[in-house]
Each structure stands twice: as structure tokens, then as C-alpha cells.
Amino acid sequence: MGVQGLASLIKNHRTIYRDVRFRKSRLVIDGCNLIYLLYFNSGLDQNRGGDYAAFEDLIEKFIKALRDCEVTPYVVLDGGADYTGKKLETLTLRAKGRIARAHQAAVGDTKEDILPQLVKLTFKQTLARLEVPVAQCYGEADQEIAALAKEWQCPVLSNDSDFYIFDLPAGLLPISYFQWEAVVQSGSQSYIPCKNYNASSFCIVFNIQRQLLPTFAALAGNDYVKLERMDSPVHWTQFCPASSETPTCLEGLLCWLRDFHQTQEAFEAALGLMGELSTKRKAGVLEGLYLGMEEYKLPPSSLKRFFTHGTPPPLPAAEQVAGLVPDWTRLPLTQARLTSDILDVLQLHGISLAFTVGDADMPSMHLTSRPIRQVMYGLLLGKGKQHQVTECDRDGLQLTATLVQPAFTGVSQQLRLSSLDQAEPSQRLQVLLEALGATEASLSRLPPQLRLPVAVTCYWLQRAQPHPDESLLKALLLGISNGEGLRQRAALQIQNEHCKQKLDVRVVHAFNQWQACLKDSLHLNQLLGFPLPEPQIARLYEGTVVHHLVYWMRTGGKLKYFLKSDCSSVKQYQAMLAVVHQLPTQEVSTPSEIQKTAASSQRQPLNDLTANLQQLYGDEDEEAATEVRSAVKALEDIHLDDFVSVRTRYKAKERNNRSKNPELARKEECRGLDFL
């Protein structure tokens, strides 16, 4: 969790740092730390659901800068939550803080450093595409990062203050001083200007023994014991030199430690400063201090063989969790191709849900996607009276814990976690489709990368509360189908308006629900071994763009301004729109009912679909009629008409118009440009 205030202390003693020209080296990167700092320092959107394509571009530039300087990155990510519970108090306080900041960001449209939901998935996908070595730990990554860097004799890139304490022979490169955007060309070589921290320099400046750094960290406060909360806390500032203008606890503690050479004598002296303590209380405090020091002892690296030979590390052997996680999950977990949430469900029977920007007066976005998670819980835990999962979420501004029952679809109850990786592909696909209430036939005519997001959109359209209106659906589908060209036109349009649109918290809530549905569906898809191709997040959603599209439509703007000039994207949009609306609007069903619902809706006649579309768009004007007509035609173009019948007045009218007006027929080859 870091030593609070240590980074600020070192910043005031900059002689500790050494300027370096970093090049031609391995570099172990604290992935989670990098995600936060890259995203928050970039000025990217936080309040409208995230600018994932722009974040992807940023990651690409970062990796290119490293490779231009012959730096080989190895990214290490955190995994599941700590099963010992020692960090529970700290994590609870942080969660409550995020809930409050997420609400403030929504109502005030301010940046409060709240990470959008799919940023981490975008990060993982981008690194995989760029073939950057990535390892996801089973638990917290700090020790694994430090152990690997020590064995490889290379530096760590992070801003986490724990790395100021670890024994790192090649030191730490703080991200704050890592000028990767200012690569310097020197002859035929390039380097990144940065600063290097080494623990030896720290100890020289503060005149303490090197072996006492973990002792210092433990006394400063850790997850096991916090001395400042004792009945008689130690006021370390009293030991600061008289010349200190702004005395701090850390500086006073370091001054006090100068007189000691061994940990034991320092701990005993610290206990003496706390006044009268019972023997039992002293023993408990001393135990907590020593446990805090254990955090900085480095075992042999468990990731070295993974990065060099692809061998995943063994699962934790602790008695509390032994045997709970099947062996086949080790490799996909370490490859970050399987969410670490499954470790929390299996080991703790609990999961902490993300808090993203949203009005706390609205229900949690995760309620919409809970049935998807319940299917995942069923696969992980099987049937059993005790197999409930505690979901940590919010209710208003309060942190809540809700017991959630695992659920089973028609096929999932036949599968076992221990052999899930060996299940028939058709069975694994059917579990995913049953969870989303979709059918293979309706999705199979779409491009592979669109099948999962379209199925999710169908699910969201039926379950989101309040029910998404036309502008929300159109904005989503246009964003998916038009990509970079749409982003560029939207940015130019926003710039030309010379105004910032007020954040609409109801639009934020609707798209938050969609992203939650997508995220949980992606996790279920991962657990099932990718029965559907995983879509690239950066191609699906761009927060500022879709919010602007909704605003544009609701203020009377025509969408043809934002469409690409080629017909393929318009056709793709129409095809997705048709598939989304081929299922009738139905009552929200439980996971056990999904199979029956999907089967009953598989063969909806196209005239019923046309009625659905007509109800959505109305039929009072030719523009709306053309919208319906083109969506129906899109179904034919992707060959969905081989299992639905086509008999509508719009179909007949279209044939009549085409025969009388060849120019209309030609124009509708690029349908969408003139009526959207």
C-alpha cells in the first residue's frame, strides 16, 4: 500500500535522485501504477465513460518510445484481493472515497481521478496486440515486481512508494520523472531522460543503516499496525531538527532511527515511547511490526520462468485457499487472458465492483449486469447452499455488501469448473448466449468482432433502467460502426461549436450500464475460453463522441454529418440495428429462464421486426419510413432472411419506389447518408 508521504519527502531532497539517460535495458513495469498515471496525466475523458481509442494511442506511443531506445518492457499487473484480510480497512476507506469522488465528478462535471470501467481491459488488449510481455499475479504485484527486477539487475518503473524500500540493485525509475515523450536522439542512439532512485542514496542523505529501511516503513505505518492510532501515539515530529521549516512525521522518524543499527532494538525503543502497554498489547504491536517488514523481503522470482519459458507460477499453497482454484486456470490467469476476479470469487466468495463516475442518486450500474455475473458464479462455485457471493457495491453514497446467489442456464448446470476448459465449444458458446438471451443464428451473420458487443447491446436494451431511448442506441451503434472517422468529425464539430456540453448524468448512467454489461460479458467469455472473439474495446466506445451524438440528435441534428463516406460502415450500422431489434421487447427474466426466452424468440418474423422498428422510430414521415426500410434491407444483405419471412408494407413500398425511381435505388446502396 506504500509509505504515505514518502514520495513527497524525497521530492524535497532531490539530491537523492540521479539523472540518467535510460536506454538498452530490461525494464520491469508496475502495470497498474502505469495505467493510472498514463490515463490521469493525459487529460483524457473520465466522466463520459472513457476515451479508449485515445488511451490506446497513448499506450502505443509509450511502447514505441521504449523500443526506440532499445528498452525491453515487462509489465506486471496486480491480481486477486488479499485473502488474509489485512488490507480490508485500507481498501474499505479507499472504496468509500471513490464513491464520494465519483458522485462529485458527476454532479459537478469535474475530474476526480476516477478510472473509466474498461481502461484496464484496453491496456491489456493493447499490450497483447503489441506483443509486450505481460504477467498478471495471483495477488498484489509489488513483491513479484521487485523480486524479478532484483534477479534481472534491471530497474523498476513505478510511482509506488514501496519501491523506495525494496532492495533494488538497479534502483527505481519514478514515472513522474520518466520523460518518455521527450526521447533524445544522440548520434545513432536514443535515450529517455529520467531520474533514478537508489536506496543507498536515501540512506546516505538521511544517515540511517540500509538494513533499517524496512524497519522505517513498518514504524511509519502498515496494514497490520498503525502506531498513530495507539492510545499513546508517538509524535515523531518531536525528533525533527530545529532547523526544519515544515517538520513531518517521516523526517522525525528518520532522525530518530539514526541511533540504531538493528531492527529489534529500534522496535523495542519505539514500544518504550508508547507509554505503559500490557504484555499482550506489546506482543501484538511487535508482531504487527515484524509482519509489516515481511512485505519487503524478496523471495525468488516466480515470474522469471514465465517470461523466459512461458511456465506459470504455482498457485498459493496457503491452507485457506489450497485447492480452490483449478490448475488449468494458471496459464490464462498469468497471461492476463482471464480476469483475476475469479480468484476473489473462488477464494473469498466475494467480489469488489468498480465505482465509476455517476450520480449517487441513481441505482448502481452493476444491477443491470448482475444476472451475467450470477451465471459466472454458478460456473465457478457450482451448486451448494453455502455458495453465495458477497458483492461490494454502492447504494447511494454508502458502501454495501450484498449476498448474491449463483445462477444456472440450461447448459451451464451440466458443466464443472475442473473440466470447463475441456467442454465442447458448442456448449461453452451456448452458456454465453443463454446468459445474454441471444441466439447463434441471429449473431452468426455479423462480423465475428461484432457478435459479442451486439449481443450485449440486445441484453442492455431489454434490461437497462430506465429503458434506453432511440438516441442512446443509435449513438452506441454509430460509434461502433464508424470508428476513427466518426471521432475526427465529432471532435471537429465540438471544436466548431466553441462550447462544452453540460454533462447529462442520465446519459452517463445509461452508458455506464452498457459498459458494465460488456465488461461482465467479456469476463464470462474469458472464463468459457472465448467462444466468441473478444472485441477490441478501443473500437467500440469513445465517451466524448457518443455523448456528443446523443446531444446532437436530441437537439435536432442529422447524423449524416458524422457518417463515413464509404457504404460499408453505414451498412454495418444498419445490420447491427436490425439484429438488435429482431428480438421482441420482453419482461426481464431470470438466468434460469434465459434458455426458454432465447428459443422462443429465435424465429421472429421480419414483419414483427418491422413493427418493432416502426414503433421505435414512428412512421409519420418519409425519413422514419426509410430508416425502417433500410434496417429491413440490411437483414437481407447479411442473409438473415433465410430464417425469417418478409411481408410488410415497407417492403412492398420499397420495391415499388425502386422500379419507378432507379436513382433512389442507387442512392440506397449507400443507405443512411441522407436520412440519418
CA angle at residue 162 from 135 to 111, to 5 degrees? 80
Domain presence at residue 376: no
Q: Give the model confidence (pLDDT) of 461-474 as tens digits.
A: 999 999 999 999 99
Q: Give the model confidence (pLDDT) of 542-599 as tens digits.
A: 999 899 889 988 988 877 767 655 677 778 888 898 898 876 444 444 444 444 433 3
241 and 168 share a domain? no
Q: Give the model confidence (pLDDT) of 100-145 as tens digits.
A: 999 999 999 999 999 999 999 999 999 999 999 999 999 999 999 9
Say if residue 318's pLDDT is above 80: no
230 and 193 share a domain? no
268 and 185 share a domain? no
Confidence of residue 87 (pLDDT cuts 50, 70, 90): confident
281 and 184 share a domain? no
Give the end of a domain, one of 294, 329, 347.
294
How would DSSP label each residue in 352-407? EPP--S--TTSPPTHHHHHHHHHHHHHHHH-S-TT--EEEEEEETTEEEEEEE---
Q: Kindly give the residue spans of alpha helices, DSSP state H, lying in 466-593.
A: 470-497, 505-527, 543-554, 567-580
Q: Is 73 helix (H, G, I), strand (E, B) or coil?
A: strand
472 and 551 share a domain? yes
Say if residue 630's pLDDT is above 50: yes
216 and 190 share a domain? no
138 and 263 share a domain? no
Whole-angstrom Cα distance, residue 99 to residue 513?
16
> Residue 572 has what pLDDT?
85
pTM as predicted: 0.87
70 and 165 share a domain? yes
Domain presence at residue 529: no
Residue range 620-638: average pLDDT? Answer: 49
Domain presence at residue 155: yes
> Residue 646 has what pLDDT?
32
Residue range 170-196: average pLDDT? Answer: 96
- Contacts of 37 by beta carbon, 8 Å cutoff, 6+ apart: 159, 175, 176
Nearest to 290 by CA among 272, 271, 276: 271
Share the mean pLDDT of the chain.
85
192 and 113 share a domain? yes
484 and 578 share a domain? yes
Whole-angstrom Cα distance, residue 403 to residue 405?
7
Domain presence at residue 433: no
Give the end of a domain, one of 261, 279, 294.
294
Domain CATH for 115: 3.40.50.1010
> Residue 335 has what pLDDT?
98
* Residue-level length of the chain: 676
Domain presence at residue 377: no
- Residues of the domain holding 563: 462-509+535-670
119 and 217 share a domain? no
256 and 118 share a domain? no
Domain presence at residue 252: yes
Neighbours of 601 (CB within 10 A): 18
More confident residue, 515 or 610: 515
> Residue 493 has what pLDDT?
66
Residue range 430-445: average pLDDT? Answer: 93
Domain presence at residue 395: no
- Output the CA torsion sign for 463, 464, 466, 471: negative
Confidence of residue 67 (pLDDT cuts 50, 70, 90): very high
Give the end of a domain, one of 163, 197, 231.
197
Domain presence at residue 622: yes
Residue range 351-375: average pLDDT? Answer: 97
Query: Strand 25-30 vs strand 71-77: parallel, antiparallel, or unpaired?
Result: parallel
Neighbours of 398 (CB within 10 A): 10
Instruction: Report the number of distinct structural domains present in the chain.
Output: 3
More confident residue, 676 or 487: 487
Say if residue 26's pLDDT is above 70: yes
Whole-angstrom Cα distance, residue 274 to residue 534?
56
> Residue 575 has what pLDDT?
87
- Among 267-276, 463-472, 484-493, 512-521, which is the least confidently predicted range? 484-493
